[in-house]
Amino acid sequence: MSLIQRHTAGEVSPANGTTHEVETTVKSNTPVNGEYRLLTLDAPQSVLDCQPGQFFHILCPVTTTEQPYLRRPMSIYGYSAEKGELQFLYKVTGEGTRALATLAKGDRLNVLGPLGVGFTIQDDWQNLLLLARGVGLATLAPLAQEAQRLNRKLVAICSARNADVLMSIDHFKSLGAEVITVTDADGTSDLENLRAIIEGRIADQGVDAMYTCGSNRMLKLLQEIGATHNIPGEIALEQQMACGLGMCQCCVRSFNREGTITQERVCREGPVFGIEEAMAW
């Protein structure tokens, strides 16, 4: 039985008709550490009615050396209708993100969004737990903002290779989240320690819902813990995308829905799915 009531393919209407292809202006595009950059855009109101977990599909610039063609999906890291601002936290990996990294204040950037179905925070979920590593922080960060708005308790377990590349700790703290950091360097990021930390939270404060992003290891861990303690959870998934809108059917993943394997589009039925239905890959 599905623990969380989710949209099914038939009744999806993501972004409530608020998806737009718009031109934005770069406010800043600054390195966060050696690998990650934070991009802040001046964006029109039409695209700022966002949900945590939704994403934008970004048309990266073309330069003499970098010529990305398809758009690149990026989770919303921050959004503020008041400030007219949209933020992305991205890792420079290939052609598209290298091109993004060349953007300077005042440059224009075409973005499409907000897209997809974001995270759920049900009314009776008071104690939230999120488990993030690497770029997953970008996806999970707005959940802290929403938790604060809804007056819920949030503990963020942030994992990284070492302390230098731990990101967004202050961001989470400023949004009232409790932060637990674990790193490979300290030997605190292994699965068994994570399990112990989470089990401890469940025993002490209680956990009503768990959120994570990306990794197979974390998915399996939270699936096990969730099944044992009957705690629902959600995961944001990634897949290669072309259209981002649900048209091309390239971004499917398999889900186990009450014993049947179905294929759902990450861009449309997702990117956020129930932890119990997601399948390790």
Interface with a copy of itself (CB under 8 A): 61-64, 67
Shortest distance, position 248 Cβ to ligand FMN, whole Å: 4
C-beta of 111 vs 218, nearer to ligand FES: 111
87 binds, among ligand FAD, ligand FES, other proteins, none (CB under 5 to 8 A by kind): none
Closest approach of other proteins to the CB of residue 240, in Å: 5
Q: Is there binding between residue 135 and ligand FAD (CB under 6 A)?
A: yes
**Contacts of 252 by beta carbon, 8 Å cutoff, 6+ apart:** 239, 263, 264, 265, 266
The string of DSSP letters for the chain reads: --SS----GGG--GGGG--EEEEEEEEEEEESSSSEEEEEEE--GGG----TT-EEEEE----SS----S-EEEE--EEETTTTEEEEEEE--SHHHHHHHT--TT-EEEEEEEESB-----TT--EEEEEEETTHHHHHHHHHHHHHHTT-EEEEEEEESSGGG---HHHHHHTT-EEEEEETTTT--SHHHHHHHHHHHHHHT--SEEEEES-HHHHHHHHHHHHHHT--EEEE-----SSSSSSS--SEEEEEETTEEEEEETTTT-BEEETTTB---
**Using CB under 6 A, which of 72, 133, 153, 201 touches ligand FAD?**
72
Partner whose footprint covers residue 248, from a copy of itself, ligand FMN, ligand FAD, none (CB < 5 to 8 Å by kind): ligand FMN
248, 254, 256, 263: residue in contact with ligand FMN (rule CB under 6 A): 248
Residue 81 Cβ, how far from other proteins at the closest point, in Å?
Answer: 20
Residue ranges that bind ligand FES, judged by CB under 6 A: 241-244, 246-251, 265, 267-268
Of 21 and 107, nearer to ligand FES (C-beta) is 21
Considering only residues 216 through 245, tell me which ones interact with other proteins, judged by CB under 8 A. 239-245
Tokens of 2: 């599905």
Decide whether 49 or 107 has the Cβ nearer to a copy of itself. 107
Report which residue type is found at 245.
L
187 forms part of the interface with other proteins (CB under 8 A): no
Q: 64 is in the binding site of which of ligand FAD, a copy of itself, ligand FMN, none (Cβ under 5 to 8 A by kind)?
A: a copy of itself
Tokens read off for 113: 């969004």
Minimum CB distance to ligand FES smaller for 121 or for 245: 245
Of 99 and 225, which has the nearer Cβ to ligand FAD?
A: 99
Summarize as ranges the residues that interact with other proteins (CB under 8 A).
10, 13-15, 17, 19-21, 59, 67-71, 110, 112, 239-253, 263, 268
